[in-house]
């Protein structure tokens, strides 16, 4: 009887830990000399991120067996795609992952620090409703998956 209770308590702890990951959310502030970069990232309930696309005005994240639809941030305009941001460097910084994006024509750049992961970062850029750019991104494997966005504005 005691063994069964201990097993049930262990299972409850695992479930609570999984639920805590599902609501994991944090603000993002990019580092840039010329741009103001702000947004957030959040955990997403998908086993891994194999791909990302727009579907009916929403962000579609494809895992190994399911696709999750996420509302775009309110600053994004799904009709204005491809704003010219490219991932140029990625490094480990302690328990974080630093990614740097550069604009293809202006050469403005910014760096974000995200939770550490070896999973490929999927990303895409959109126009913003107020003329700014919006970058959406996702990554994940082993049931630790995230999605996020930043709004990019000139200082």
Q: CA 126, CA 112: separation in Å to the nearest integer? A: 18
Q: What is the pLDDT along the chain (155 residues), one digit of tens a residue?
A: 555 443 434 434 443 344 444 448 999 999 999 999 999 999 999 999 999 999 999 999 999 999 999 999 999 999 997 789 999 999 999 999 999 999 999 999 999 999 999 999 999 999 999 999 999 999 999 999 999 999 999 99
Neighbouring residues of 150: CB distance < 8 A, sequence distance ≥ 6: 28, 30, 37, 38, 39, 110, 112, 134, 135
DSSP labels, 32-64: -SSEEEEEEEEEES-S---EEEEETTEEEEE-S
pLDDT at 83: 81
């Amino acid at each position: 009887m005691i063994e069964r209770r201990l097993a049930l308590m262990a299972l409850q702890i695992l479930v609570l830990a999984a639920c805590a990951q599902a609501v994991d959310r944090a603000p993002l502030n990019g580092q840039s000399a010329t741009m103001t970069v702000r947004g957030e990232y959040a955990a997403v309930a998908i086993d891994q991120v194999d791909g990302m696309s727009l579907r009916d005005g929403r962000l579609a994240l494809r895992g190994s067996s399911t696709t999750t639809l996420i509302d775009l941030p309110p600053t994004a305009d799904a009709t204005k795609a491809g704003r010219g941001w490219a991932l140029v460097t990625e490094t480990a910084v302690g328990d974080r992952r630093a990614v740097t994006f550069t604009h293809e024509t202006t050469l403005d750049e910014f760096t974000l620090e995200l939770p550490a992961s070896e999973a490929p970062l999927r990303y895409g850029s959109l126009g913003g409703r107020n003329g700014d750019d919006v970058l959406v991104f996702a990554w994940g494997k082993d049931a630790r998956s995230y999605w996020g966005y930043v709004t990019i504005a000139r200082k």
